Amino acid sequence: MRRTRRDARLAGLHPTLARIYQGRHITSLDQLDYSLSHLLPPLSLTGIGAATELLEQALDADAHILFIGDFDADGATACAVGVLALRRMGAKHVSYLVPNRFEYGYGLSPEIVGVAASQQPDILITVDNGIASIDGVGAAQELGMSVLITDHHLPGPQLPTADVIVNPNLPGDAFPSKALAGVGVIFYVLMALRSRLRALDWFSRRGVQEPNLAELLDLVAVGTVADLVPLDYNNRVLVAQGLARINAGRCRPGIKAILETANRTHQGLSARDLGFVVGPRLNAAGRLEDMSHGIACLLADDLDQARAIAEKLQKLNQERREIESTMQQQAHDIVSELHLDGALPMAICLYNDAWHQGIVGLVASRVRERTGRPAIVFAQDGHGVLKGSARSIDGLHIKDLLEGISTRHPDLVKKFGGHAMAAGLSLEMTMLDTFRHVFEKSVVEELGRDNKPESLFSDGSLNDDDMNIEFAELLRTAGPWGQQFPEPIFDDQFELIEQRTVGYRHLKLRVRRTRGKKILDAIAFGYFDNHPAPPPAASLHLAYRLDVNDYRGIRAPQLIIEHIEAC
């Protein structure tokens, strides 16, 4: 990805930044304009007109609208956006329900419909789920409820018989961006609804102030980044606008409170901070207890109330870290044993009867990173069923792979769903060995037996003049960076000045670029999770990000190491 020629259409930019943008197919300054006016219009979304008609009728009738959320940060933010927006549009009876993952599993199941029925809703709106809820939608409609599905997950061969479905990934949908997160989909539905109500003079007739939906973009940004969807241009507009509101202090009290518990301020945040600070604390509620805590924090209008909930989220996140650390070590030990037989299997499938259902996705991600293999990690639900979380590698569409397995072996997988790079599934415990064999065979058929490690792309060398706080700050604000619009990574050779261990897991270095003059701090976070102590070497080849280290108010450039090789 090394680019040296500067495009004249990027004139005026820092030359290194222009080179970085070129490597991401940015060819003009217009592609860096993240004004709201550049958002794609919602009209090409399949079902958007029918959805707004259904919601307008519900508002006219003062119907009870019940959101069915999901237990991750995307689902939590989508639920909060929906509740807040409809209340501001004059809805008097709006509530939400989130399935507890340990009792009801994922999505609009018949069981969660039974729980919802006790609240006597007129209409159910799913956010970040529903596209696979064939039986749940049928159960709701039998009880007289209307169902609006808003989702972004890939549909299966059969669609539920909902009153309306809005999903940019429906077959034949003409919406240009297929990368919207669940929170993005419901935000688009609400934008279209506001336009419809405005055209009908709804707000003045009802004496309701027309809401400024841009005030909810902080939530849209958090959910979009946390769900790791590709940051195409449209999503970058949403995230950039949400980040701008957060950095200006114009965000939900719940986001401020979560940042406070992490000893962070709302100023100077990047998309990375949303993904590594705010997202995990919201997700901890859904992983260990109930995502209702996270939604309540986001809905809180009072900062003191939000702080009390955020403190609980902080404690849950700490507990999550401790559980994850134990599971990661156990998974590492199992993978090490697999190495003893020679070649590592082309697909990794792990299970331990003590593992926590809510943490398996995090472990699967680490196993995939460590081995370069697609990985599925299972935990049991206590009723003879295994719940698994899958993470894939470039070139392997994991949801399609699971669909192929389910087609060829219809009695093997109970449920599955997801994306190209991540999926969830369940199967009977007695089927684990069979599934492990079929999974590896299917991966080999798809990819072959060559062990091709995933590539780490570099934006080239960074000269001494750019290794400063000013350029580090510029990179932080030059995003938003994220999936398929990656944060810049550079590579260079360095002289090793000093190395030490920090916090048992992290490798701290002081280095100087070969033939350079500046001595810089560098850190490899979690290095000892995957590596033994590095051998002493006078020279190192590092792949790294240039970031800002803010320690006791002193800001300095720091290298965040992504890969180390001794020279």
**Together in a domain, 77 and 211:** yes
3-state secondary structure 416-430: EEECCCEEEEEEEHH
Q: Residue 554's domain is classified under what CATH number?
A: 2.40.50.460
**Together in a domain, 279 and 302:** yes
Which amino acid would we find at residue 84? L
Q: Is 500 domain-assigned?
A: yes
Q: Is 183 domain-assigned?
A: yes
Per-residue burial over 406-434, b = 16 or more CB atoms within 10 Å of its CB, e = otherwise: beeeeebbebbbbbbbbbbbbbeeebbee
Q: Residue 433's domain is classified under what CATH number?
A: 3.10.310.30
Which amino acid would we find at residue 474? L
pLDDT at site 268 = 87
**Together in a domain, 301 and 425:** no
**Together in a domain, 108 and 256:** yes
pLDDT at site 2 = 41
**Together in a domain, 506 and 429:** no
| Site of tokens 């033994």 | 532
Q: How far is CA 478 from CA 75, 232, 403, in A?
A: 28, 15, 39
Q: Residues near 460 by Cβ (< 8 Å), separated by ≥ 6?
A: 1, 2, 3, 4, 19, 490, 491
Q: pLDDT tens, 293-335?
A: 999 999 999 999 999 999 999 999 999 999 999 999 999 999 9
**Together in a domain, 425 and 509:** no
pLDDT at site 229 = 93
Q: Hey, what are 125's tokens?
A: 């709106």
Structural domain boundaries, residue 95: 42-312
Q: Are 481 and 487 in contact (CB under 8 A)?
A: yes
pLDDT at site 7 = 59
Q: Residue 60's domain is classified under what CATH number?
A: 3.90.1640.30
Q: pLDDT tens, 224-273?
A: 999 989 999 999 999 999 999 999 999 999 999 999 999 998 888 999 99
**Together in a domain, 187 and 205:** yes
| Site of tokens 């509101």 | 245
Q: Is 320 domain-assigned?
A: no
Per-residue burial over 71-93, b = 16 or more CB atoms within 10 Å of its CB, e = otherwise: bbbbbbbbbbbbbbbbebbbbeb
Q: Which residues of the chain have a pLDDT value below 50?
A: 1-6
Alpha-helical segments (H) within 208-350: 217-226, 233-247, 253-261, 271-273, 279-288, 292-299, 303-339
Q: Is 270 domain-assigned?
A: yes
- Residue that terminates a domain, selected from 270, 295, 312: 312
Q: Residues near 553 by Cβ (< 8 Å), separated by ≥ 6?
A: none
- Residue that terminates a domain, selected from 403, 427, 447: 447
Q: Are 73 and 222 in contact (CB under 8 A)?
A: yes
**Together in a domain, 428 and 482:** no
pLDDT at site 363 = 96
pLDDT at site 533 = 73
pTM for this structure? 0.92
**Together in a domain, 24 and 138:** no
The rounded distance, in Å, linking the Cα atoms of 543 and 442 is 33
The rounded distance, in Å, linking the Cα atoms of 328 and 60 is 52
Q: How far is CA 419 from CA 24, 211, 232, 397, 416, in A?
A: 23, 33, 16, 8, 10
- Residue that terminates a domain, selected from 312, 329, 356: 312
**Together in a domain, 15 and 129:** no
Per DSSP, what are the bridge partners of residue 68? Answer: 97, 126
**Together in a domain, 59 and 4:** no
The rounded distance, in Å, linking the Cα atoms of 356 and 510 is 38
Task: Evaluate the CA torsion angle 113, 119, 122, 125 in order and state its sign.
Answer: negative
Name the domain count of the chain: 4
pLDDT at site 341 = 57
The rounded distance, in Å, linking the Cα atoms of 549 and 439 is 43
Per-residue burial over 169-183, b = 16 or more CB atoms within 10 Å of its CB, e = otherwise: bbeebebebebbbbb
Q: Residues near 106 by Cβ (< 8 Å), separated by ≥ 6?
A: 70, 71, 99, 129, 415, 417, 424
Q: Is 20 domain-assigned?
A: yes
pLDDT at site 269 = 92
Q: Are 534 and 499 in contact (CB under 8 A)?
A: yes
Q: Is 317 domain-assigned?
A: no
Q: Is 81 domain-assigned?
A: yes
Q: Is 327 domain-assigned?
A: no
**Together in a domain, 25 and 54:** no
